[in-house]
A = this chain, B = another copy of it.
Amino acid sequence: MTTSFRGLVVALMLTLLPAWALAEDGHELWLRYRPLAGQAKAQAGVSAIVLAAPASSTTQAAIAELQRGVAGMTGREPPLTPRIKPGVLVLAARAQAPSGLHLAWDELGREGYALRRLKLQGQDVTVIAANGDIGLLYGSFAWLRAAQTGADLIRLDQSSAPKVGLRLLNHWDNLDGHVERGYSGASLWDWWKLPDILDARYVDYARANASLGINGAVLNNVNAKADSLTAPYLAKAAALAGVFRPYGIKVYLSARFSAPVELGGLKTSDPLDPAVRAWWKAKADEIYKVIPDFGGFLVKANSEGQPGPQDYGRNHADGANMLAEALNPHGGVVMWRAFVYAADASDRAKQAYAEFQPLDGKFAANVIVQVKNGAIDFQPREPFHPLFGAMPKTPLALELQITKEYLGFSTHLVHLGPLFEEVLRADTGHGGTVARVVDGSLEKHKLTAVAGVANIGQDRNWSGSQFDQANWYAFGRLAWDPDLASAAVARDWVAQTFTTRPAARDAIVQLMLASREAVVDYMTPLGLHHLMDTGHHYGPGPWVNNLERADWNPTYFHRAGRDGIGFDRSPGGSNAVAQYAPSVARRFADPRTTPPELLLWFHHLPWDYAMPSGRTLWAELIARYDRGVATVDDMGRRWAALKTDVDPERHAEVTAYLAVQAREARWWRDACVAFFQSVSGLPLPAGTRPPEKDLAAYKALRFGFAPGR
């Protein structure tokens, strides 16, 4: 059978496949390559592929992806050809590029690419050009995305290079297969069967990440076991590294600081102890023997019970620099997390800044300090972390949470693109936005990183729900280019995943964009934060005040009483605002200049405080809770209207999830309103729907087997 007939049949097949043969279960993510029609199909046609680049496992992966994608979209799989012909697609590495391209090669850097439709040797061809093979792979995915999303491929002329060097997923995956704060099944890494058995999903994981530009994966939980540094587990990590390498993805490990004691039998893990330093050096040498391109260590130290340098009277820089010294000969990096808080802190929000800012300039060159987007812990909304811009001599990585620990797990539809965008665009007051800190441009740092806590597991749909895939996608695209608009990224994802029909596509995008403010409204409006119930972090628990540590209790954070509500972080309170640059601090210090969205984060205000809306704070709070519920209802209506635009399987699935979210948004709203009313003692504003149940009923709910704990 000729290739073209085979291609035709493939196209027919994909159109006519009975539902059971190609289940729309979301497993293909955004790399679906469904048949195009009309002009889009004609433009996506490729007569053949020319490899004007070294044959490597990476260029092989690029060719295979192009063949798969073009076959799926057009019904015809392009063969390889040695010479330029009409309609070919040329993968051109700088050294072997055909003449006549006239590219600004230097601007593409090591990982960037250019896509261009042009005449070459008199023929109309498409060129994917890059300095090296990983750029060719990224360019191939970009070209496929352009084809999938209906871009005009005839006028194609674009180039892109990542603005951030390390674009990493952090997997909080334990060696026993459990994923901390994971809501999409067990860990993708089958540590027990590795290194012998290589699940086919490992390749698909690498493809999906490469399609976004993600170039590293920290395989194990930051709450680390030392075991991951033993020879058997290094062999397992090496096997994964071998699968990922063609896709440009480096493997990293979370390192347990006390490993020299636990594994090495030393009496101490003091970072200034020569034997400890020697142990880590030997360990690094051992790692690089089996994983020559090992990325480095991620470390959670002296935080939430993890061991660290403070156990020995040393500071974070002492600890990080010891590891950096061990990794440095091999080119490895230490990502040292700034998520720390002490049991006795007067304001937990101030802790990371207090411990880290004074260490600015003390870290080795291959250390990057990894800072969460906000100072508490991945809440629906937080102001940007005051460390951004405050440590000019230190490269800072931004840590985002893709898994929705505090935002409804994988059951609520909450698109995080707007949250990521809000953080990146926040003006630090130190001369640039968070994005300019993170991409290194503000202080001319070469070492730059964005990390996302992964939402990936063994669920067939990878992320626990169809729409949670979009959060992985948005993270990856924004890590590559923090200046992208989250709406544009969402539009690409919808076009690749659901539909390119403009009306339906845009309706889905609108629904996604509305979802983030909705979750803020029905969980923690007006700057409230950390109101969730104990342990599971799922439902509401604003009444919780019985936990061992003050700053584990929601009552610590909202401080609601008869007099008002909110955490006073103004100069008259904890003065956390002073950790920000003066211009920002001034704005946040005064409730009148603090954005309403962050009001109760920074201020404790009386219930009758007059809001810009004209409502009292009490009425505004309830209005916001109501708005959240209304938005979720509206999302349900919008989705219902899309029934003919989405395949029945995924439409029904999302419908079921939205019904859960509608019910649980009411639960959040009702429980919080009931509680705050019990504290404020105020009547509900006229016309307000009273909570469905008594406060006691909400307090009595228990969720003993919630996932992710």
Contacts and interface: CB of A to CB of B under 8 A. Distances in A.
Contact of A706 (B13, B183, B192, B704): B192
Interface stretch (A390-398, A567-575, A656-664): A656-664
Given A458-B185, A459-B458, A705-B227, A193 B16 contact: no
Interface stretch (A194-202, A517-525, A552-560): A194-202
Interface stretch (A17-25, A467-475, A683-691): A17-25
A326 interface: no
A253 B659 CA distance: 28
A411 interface: yes
A31 to B, nearest CB: 10
A192 B705 contact: yes
B13 A16 contact: yes
Interface string A195-233: 011101100000000000000000000000001000000
A357 B655 CA distance: 55
Interface string A176-195: 11100001011000011100
A71 interface: yes
A583 B411 CA distance: 62
A352 B352 CA distance: 60
A274 B458 CA distance: 47
Given A176-B705, A186-B186, A458-B186, A6 B16 contact: yes
A656 B239 CA distance: 13
A13 B20 contact: no
A460 interface: yes
Contacts of A201: 460
Given A13-B9, A196-B656, A656-B197, A68 B705 contact: no
A682 interface: no
A360 interface: no
Contacts of A531: none
A14 interface: yes
Contacts of A25: 200
Contacts of A13: 9, 12-13, 16-17, 21
B185 A657 contact: no
A1 B22 CA distance: 19
Nearest to A198: B656
Interface in A423-448: none
A175 interface: yes
A93 interface: no
A596 interface: no
A264 interface: no
A635 interface: no
Contact of A71 (B18, B68, B176, B196): B18
Interface in A578-626: none
A10 interface: yes
A647 interface: no
A156 to B, nearest CB: 26
B186 A705 contact: no
Given A18-B71, A197-B657, A9 B10 contact: no
A383 interface: no
A263 to B, nearest CB: 12
A649 interface: yes
A656 B176 CA distance: 22
A707 interface: yes
A545 to B, nearest CB: 26
A704 to B, nearest CB: 6
B16 A191 contact: no
A23 B200 contact: yes
A227 B707 contact: no
A22 B17 CA distance: 11
A458 B193 CA distance: 16
Contacts of A10: 16-18, 21
A20 B460 CA distance: 15
B17 A68 contact: no
B68 A20 contact: yes
A30 to B, nearest CB: 15
Contacts of A68: 18, 20
A412 to B, nearest CB: 12
Contacts of A14: 21
A183 B707 CA distance: 19
A88 B644 CA distance: 35
Most buried by B among A9, A13, A653, A660: A13
A707 B77 CA distance: 42
B196 A707 contact: no
A191 B704 CA distance: 11
A25 B203 CA distance: 14
A689 to B, nearest CB: 23
A707 B659 contact: no
A460 B457 CA distance: 12
Nearest to A15: B9
Interface in A657-674: 657, 659-660
A13 B660 CA distance: 38
B23 A22 contact: no
A196 B649 contact: no
B659 A191 contact: no
Interface in A1-52: 1, 6, 9-10, 12-14, 16-18, 20-23, 25
A176 to B, nearest CB: 5
A227 B705 CA distance: 9
A124 B660 CA distance: 52
Contacts of A704: 175, 227
Contacts of A12: 9, 12-13
Given A177-B707, A704-B227, A705-B192, A660 B197 contact: yes
A196 B659 contact: yes
Contacts of A705: 174-177, 191-192, 227
A459 B192 CA distance: 14
Contacts of A227: 704-705
Contacts of A657: 196-197
26 contacts: A9-B12, A10-B16, A10-B18, A10-B21, A12-B12, A12-B13, A13-B16, A13-B17, A14-B21, A21-B72, A22-B22, A175-B704, A176-B707, A177-B185, A177-B705, A185-B186, A186-B186, A191-B705, A192-B409, A192-B705, A196-B659, A196-B660, A197-B653, A200-B649, A227-B704, A227-B705
A-B CB proximity, top 4 nearest: A13-B13, A175-B705, A186-B186, A176-B705
Given A1-B16, A191-B705, A227-B704, 6 more contacts: A13-B17, A18-B71, A23-B200, A175-B705, A197-B660, A458-B459
